[in-house]
Structures are given as C-alpha cells and as structure tokens.
Amino acid sequence: MKKESDFFEQVWQVVALIPRGRVTSYGAIARYLGSASASRTVGYAMNASHASTVRIPAHRVVNRNGMLTGKHWFGGPGVMQQLLESEGISVVEDKITEFEKHFWDPNKELTI
C-alpha cells in the first residue's frame, strides 16, 4: 500500500481533530507525530493543507507564542482572525489572547 500516511496527512489528521474553539502549536503537532523538531515541516504541511480533500482548520494552528504567523496565507489579512473570533477565540494584534486557555495539546488530549 502506498504510504498514505505522509507527514502531511498526519498533520492534517491532528489539525482536523482540534476541537472548535481550541488552538494548538506547530511544535505540539510535530511532537505528536514523533518529530519534535519538525515544527517547520508542520508549517510546510499546512501550506499544502489546501491539497487535502478535507477542510483543514489551519487557523487553529499558530506558533508557540500564539501569534497568527500564517494569516497572510488565508487569502487575506483578518480572515484567520475572524475565523478564530467566530469560534470564541479573542485575537489582538495577530496574537491569541489567553493562548494557554485555548491551547490544545494533542499529546495530552489524544492517545497515541
């Protein structure tokens, strides 16, 4: 069988499992996949999220500081923030307020 479980698909799976109103970080996903230092690759996978057949809530994935680094990739500035606010997440200056409260760690919530 062809390895459907590409790194991208694994990332998409985790992101797709993010509950509404929660966010996670690239590093957390990378660790969940086993490659703790592959945080950069996780972001790269997000770039290819549009290739996935399922909708990938990439707006729920932010950097370690809770900053919306990839908002520009959503087709326009403010789109990512609006999506987060729509889920009850406050975003100020491209940063998620109370990021710790909204943080969702796959290693913690999900069982490997």
Partner DNA sequence: AAGTTGACCCCGA
Partner DNA sequence: TTCGGGGCCAACT
CB of 4 to DNA, least distance (A): 12
Residues touching DNA, count (CB under 7 A): 30
CB of 90 to DNA, least distance (A): 19
Contacting residue, 19, 20, 21, 47, with DNA by CB under 7 A: 47
Contacting residue, 25, 81, 84, 89, with DNA by CB under 7 A: 25
HEC sequence for the chain? CCCCCCHHHHHHHHHHCCCCCCEEEHHHHHHHHCCCCCHHHHHHHHHCHHHCCCCCCHHHEECCCCECCCHHHHCCCCHHHHHHHHCCCCEECCEECCHHHHECCHHHHCCC
Q: At a CB cut-off of 8 Å and minimum separation 6, what does 42 contact? A: 11, 26, 27, 29, 30, 33, 61
CB of 57 to DNA, least distance (A): 9
Under rule CB under 7 A, residue 7 binds DNA: yes
Under rule CB under 7 A, residue 61 binds DNA: yes
Under rule CB under 7 A, residue 5 binds DNA: no
Query: Which stretches of the chain bind DNA, using CB under 7 A?
Result: 6-8, 25-27, 35, 37-44, 46-50, 58-59, 61, 63-65, 69-70, 73-74
